[in-house]
Amino acid sequence: MMIDPYLVDTPAGTLRGTSRDDGGVLFAGIPFAAPPVGPLRLRPPRPARPWSGIRDATEFRAAPPQRAPALMSTGTAATSTPLTGPAGPPKIDYDEDCLYLNVWTPDPTGRRPVIVWFYGGGFDVGSAAPPMTDGGALSRLTGAVVVTANYRLGALGFLHLADLGGPGWEGSSNLGLQDQAAALRWVRDTIASFGGDPGNVTAAGESAGAFCVGALLTMPAAVGTFHRAILSSGSTARIFDTDTATGIAADLLAALDLRTVDDLLDLPVERILDVQTSVVDSDIGRRNLPGGRSWGVVHDGTVLPRHPHQAVLDGAAAGLDLLVGANRDEVRLFQVMQGAAYQPTDEAGLLAEIRRAGVAAPERLLAGYRRRAPNGSLADLRTLLLTDAVYRLPASRLAAAQTAAGGRAHAYLFAAEPFGADLGAFHAADLLFLFDGLERFGKATPELVEVQQDLTRAWAEFAATGDPGWPAYDPAATANTRQFGGDADRVTEPPDDDVTSAWTSPA
């Protein structure tokens, strides 16, 4: 008797998937938690209800509620990128009932490595479905079973109410992160039915998704659900304290003219979306540097008992293999998109921002950046600063912390320029390669296709074995980082120059 490859039995019930053009099978719109609506709004995820009969799993579900973030709407530059698409930002259909995941499997009867992908989008936007996330492309290029999961965004996903709401609200912090942990538990318990190996799961993400993976590394509710992690443009560094997070929550209530946290349960979701950007910073620097306000992971003491970076230093993630990557010119995209709004007012303003980044000798650091970019404008120098402060240096520090704790980490720098030198290797440029979008954007040159093959091969080998194909990171070694694109296969991260020394030197 032939087994129907489109039917899969799970603990919750039977699912019917659909065939993929490449011969694999897609199972879409699978509930991994109860709908977070009504009394479950702003609450930790609850288990999904089982069903009887065969549930259709051939259609993607809507994205979490969201609005276009200020980071993408400031300025007037029109740029076609993986963040916007060839025709501008895609229209996103959303629904508060959003906790669903998708499984792309090459063979439901196999036993393949699993990659669980968490999308980026600044904690403001994102979707686990195409066009924003093409798990089918990632599965095809890596040979892995790929799972993509929605998680709540903005205020609905990262409003910290545990210190403001009183009794009954203690668990309402890092809700989007709790959604991700619930999805990982679903994968641990269920993925074998889809041809995945529950003993070989890689948690991966880009930008906001990667910062979440950095927290999941040591989050108690996620322990034992994955064995490797890939962080693209993320680290363990972007964590907000409870005072900042509680202040944002109080300001949201005030903006909505509400007296109690319980009043949030009765509001139309559109009202929350309309005001949530008004209580956080919109500038890429202000929202990411110390003292900034944004949606994101909170060191709340319960969901995250310890700061993730300190926990990694103490060995809490030493049993996990890490692949940590950053893009060479991360913040160039925001410089181009935001135009005049991005420009520092003057050199004094830029020096003040350098101090805010924690540099004791800002003049020395600025002089070092000027040596790296002799003809750079103040905006160019700001881009170098923020790229290092938010992405490249925290990535190297995470790899170094894992190594110091006795774990294993590999590092890479993405340096390909799919849109040319003006944008460089910008934030999210690697998604064009991972989701097989070069041809769609008219960028499938032999050189860029080779970069894509090298990058996806490294991800595939890492997901399968924990070794992407180059030596583990050694912070004291030269050429300690694999580079994809650019003029060399190996580079030193952070670079051995006066910029790097200025980041750590006393005044």
Question: Among residues 227, 299, 309, 427, which one is catalytic?
Answer: 427
Provide φ and ψ at 416, rounded to 5°: -75, 150
From the number of C-beta atoms within 10 Å of its C-beta (0-12, 13-18, 19+), residue 138 rates as buried
Separation between Cα atoms, residue 381 and residue 373, nearest integer Å: 8
DSSP result, 92-103: --B-S---EEEE
Nearest partner of 48 among 22, 74, 13, judged by Cα: 13
Separation between Cα atoms, residue 116 and residue 123, nearest integer Å: 18
In this structure, the strands spanning 112-118 and 321-327 are unpaired
Question: Among residues 173, 207, 232, 294, which one is catalytic?
Answer: 207
Separation between Cα atoms, residue 476 and residue 133, nearest integer Å: 37
Assess whether 410 carries a catalytic annotation: no
Kindly provide the residue ranges of all beta strands, DSSP E only, lying in 373-477, ordered along the sequence: 408-414
Kindly provide the residue ranges of all beta strands, DSSP E only, lying in 25-107, ordered along the sequence: 25-31, 54-56, 100-105
Question: Among residues 330, 353, 417, 493, which one is catalytic?
Answer: 330
Distances (CA, A) of 486 to 172, 207, 393, 414: 44, 21, 19, 8
DSSP result, 288-355: HSTT---SS-B--SSSSSS-HHHHHHTTTTTTSEEEEEEETTTTHHHHHHHGGGGS-SSHHHHHHHHH
From the number of C-beta atoms within 10 Å of its C-beta (0-12, 13-18, 19+), residue 506 rates as exposed
Separation between Cα atoms, residue 402 and residue 309, nearest integer Å: 9
Specify the DSSP class assigned to residue 471. Answer: P
Assess whether 80 carries a catalytic annotation: no
Is residue 92 within 8 A of residue 133, CB to CB? The reply is no
Assess whether 427 carries a catalytic annotation: yes
Separation between Cα atoms, residue 253 and residue 273, nearest integer Å: 13
Beta bridge partners of 116: 147, 203
Nearest partner of 207 among 399, 421, 420, 426, judged by Cα: 426
What lies within 8 Å, CB to CB, of 189 at 6+ separation is 11, 198
Query: What's the residue count for the chain?
Result: 507
Taking the alpha carbons of 387, 391, 395, 397 in that order, is the dihedral positive or negative? Answer: positive
Q: Kindly list the catalytic residues.
A: 207, 330, 427
